[in-house]
Structure 1
Amino acid sequence: MRRSWPAVGLAALCMTVGVPADAWAARPVVDMEATVLAAQIDPRRADHTLTPGAKASVLAVEQALQARNLLDAQWVDGYFGTETVAAYAAYQRSLGYTGLAANGLPGTTSLTRLGQDRYTVANPIGPGAKVPRDGYVVDARTQAMLAEAQRLLGYPLVLDQGSYNPGGDPTSAGTHDGGGVVDISVTGMTAAKRTAVARALRRVGFAAWVRDPSQGDWPWHIHAVAINDTDLSSQAQHQAGDYYLGLNGLAGRGPDDGPRLPITTWEQYQRGQ
């Protein structure tokens, strides 16, 4: 008589074909976009509010870090706070990574290796190759974002400072040490045009603010941080997180003084087009 697998159950099927039962179980899916976003926002929160849509992914990552004895059980809670960032950075260093590659933000390779036999990775993101722009260096993702902002505005944007510029401008407080961060020249722009540029940058996925000399030792410019760029320096990560929390990205953590519109990432913007 023909045997019915539903009648004997999954365990019997696995024993028959010689495959461990847990190999048939669906693995959790870690949404990389949501996980990286949480790693920027959560450490800047005054409480343990979770980043919407990220809990399950962050929890899977934290469980994998705990399994490697890098994160204490009390921090396995779906909140990608400072303890989880430090644990992830330690994991990156254990892989031999240094510098920006060990900044505590999950990269595609490290996130995939951490999840081996534990979870699968969805919505992978990355900065791409380093490319020249206006005499500076940016990554390909930032370049594409700037190009789209220019298309929306109908005129070019010129950089005052690029990315990957460690120690190049002390007034930048390390925000330009990694990728995803640029300063844009506003020479000759009216106040209305400066605001329009900041709005276009925010629309495509930057945390962008008009900076003026009263705020620091710098000339008028627009400072822009590409949200979810996995090459962001720690200082730039903090600015991206503060932007989501309605702050201005400066050391005093004052209220956001830029144009208000729904906050989005570059990938979310692309999907909406």
Structure 2
Amino acid sequence: MELPTRRWLLTRAALTAATIAAVPLGAAPAPAAGAAPATAATALPVVDMELVLLAAQLDPPKPDTGLTPGAKAHVLAVEQALNTKGLLAASAVDGHYGSSTVSAYAAWQRHLGYSGIDANGLPGVTSLTRLGETRYTVTRPVRAGSRTDEYGGRQVNTRTATMLAAADAILPWGVTLSQGSYTTEDPTSAGTHDGGGVVDISVAGLSTTQRWRLVLALRTIGFAAWLRTPEQGFPFHVHAVAVSDPELSAPAQRQVHDYYFGRNGLASHAPDDTPTAYRAPFTWWEKSQRA
């Protein structure tokens, strides 16, 4: 996973006078309110990591260059930095975090020495901060945490474990995982579990209503979640993807896109068959905790 390097820590220490200010959802990067007169440090805009991550999941599969609401200015700052590094063509600096931007960001991650899921094209706190040196500061960071955490004996990262505990607290029965993250043990998962943030949940012993209540609880706290059925080619279980986990595999990223647009997250991209009563507004963990 992305970890601070010595060089980054030294740079961060040199910038401790800078103010990293939280901004409202959808706001464009701007200097912190009430900041001291502009200097080389305080004049830097901020990039909202939550919004950049959201765009990185939602934009690439779009058939055009449609923008993710509220994210354009933040994505532009990242793209401009990638362009300066020689990794992204000027024609792709448009505020749309499309496939070209994903590839350019993955190249930046590899330049920093990352590989595998750490070079997936989704910003991590360290790589995003390093990219923004002298250009922007990062606000609302999203951290996956340790990859060696467990939930019910299944491997997940810290963020996912925290989210599952929150969903568990909503329900009068326990959440039991049948598959965790960072695993290729089930070939029918099509690579969705290869990275972080993705789990399968057992529904054994649950009634139909309880299964849908489980889906609703997961969606409420920031998972893209669906009930999988034999009609779809699966044994009954709930498949859940933690929206905006920075370590999502590419197939899992596309499932977040599907969920946002009301689809089923399968190869068919058919409409979501979740009953209306068990749907929830699109959200992610950090946003759900601010509500």
Alignment of 1:248 onto 2:264: yes
What does 1:177-188 correspond to in 2, within 5 Å?
177-188=194-205
Could you tell me which residue of structure 1 aligns to residue 224 of structure 2? Answer: 207
Could you tell me which residue of structure 2 aligns to residue 229 of structure 1? Answer: 245
Could you tell me which residue of structure 2 aligns to residue 264 of structure 1? Answer: 283
Q: Could you tell me how far apart the structure 2 residues matched to 1:25 and 1:140 are?
A: 33
Larger displacement relative to structure 2 (37-46 or 23-32): 23-32
Q: Could you tell me how far apart the structure 2 residues matched to 1:109 and 1:48 are?
A: 27
Alignment of 1:239 onto 2:258: no
- TM-score (ref. length: structure 1): 0.89
Q: Taking structure 1 as reference, are residues 92 and 24 closer, same or farther at Cα in structure 2, changes over 3 Å only? A: closer
Q: Could you tell me how far apart the structure 2 residues matched to 1:46 and 1:194 are?
A: 34
Higher helix proportion, which one? 1
Q: Could you tell me how far apart the structure 1 residues matched to 2:114 and 2:41 are?
A: 33
Alignment of 1:135 onto 2:153: yes
Q: Taking structure 1 as reference, are residues 140 and 24 closer, same or farther at Cα in structure 2, changes over 3 Å only? A: closer
Alignment of 1:80 onto 2:97: yes
Could you tell me which residue of structure 2 aligns to residue 30 of structure 1? Answer: 47
Q: Taking structure 1 as reference, are residues 147 and 117 closer, same or farther at Cα in structure 2, changes over 3 Å only? A: same
After TM superposition, where is structure 1 displaced by more than 3 Å over at least 4 residues in a row?
none
Alignment of 1:110 onto 2:127: yes
Which of 149, 157, 163 is the matching residue for 1:145? 163
Q: Could you tell me how far apart the structure 2 residues matched to 1:208 and 1:266 are?
A: 13
Could you tell me which residue of structure 1 aligns to residue 182 of structure 2? Answer: 164
Q: Could you tell me how far apart the structure 2 residues matched to 1:193 and 1:155 are?
A: 9
Q: Which is higher, the Rg of structure 1 or of structure 2? A: 1
Could you tell me which residue of structure 2 aligns to residue 13 of structure 1? Answer: none
Alignment RMSD, CA only?
Answer: 1.3
Q: Could you tell me how far apart the structure 2 residues matched to 1:27 and 1:132 are?
A: 39
What does 1:49-68 correspond to in 2, within 5 Å?
49-68=66-85
Matched AA of 1:152: I
Please list the CA deviations of residues 66-115 of structure 1 after superposition, one character each: whole Å capped at 9, or x if unmatched: 00110001110000011100000011001110011100000000000000
Larger displacement relative to structure 2 (60-69 or 150-159): 150-159
Q: Could you tell me how far apart the structure 2 residues matched to 1:198 and 1:215 are?
A: 17
Could you tell me which residue of structure 1 aligns to residue 13 of structure 2? Answer: none
Which of 91, 107, 119 is the matching residue for 2:108? 91
Q: Could you tell me how far apart the structure 2 residues matched to 1:143 and 1:90 are?
A: 29
Give structure 2 stretches of 5+ with no counterpart: 1-37
Matched AA of 1:71: L
Please list the CA deviations of residues 18-65 of structure 1 after superposition, one character each: whole Å capped at 9, or x if unmatched: xxx972672121000000010000012222221111111000000000
Q: Could you tell me how far apart the structure 1 residues matched to 2:179 and 2:128 are?
A: 31
Larger displacement relative to structure 2 (174-183 or 145-154): 145-154
Q: Could you tell me how far apart the structure 2 residues matched to 1:114 and 1:22 are?
A: 20
Q: Taking structure 1 as reference, are residues 24 and 236 closer, same or farther at Cα in structure 2, changes over 3 Å only? A: closer
Q: Number of aligned pairs?
A: 250
Q: Is the 8 A contact 1:44 1:242 kept in 2?
A: no
DSSP-derived class of the 1:43 partner: coil
Q: Is the 8 A contact 1:185 1:221 kept in 2?
A: yes
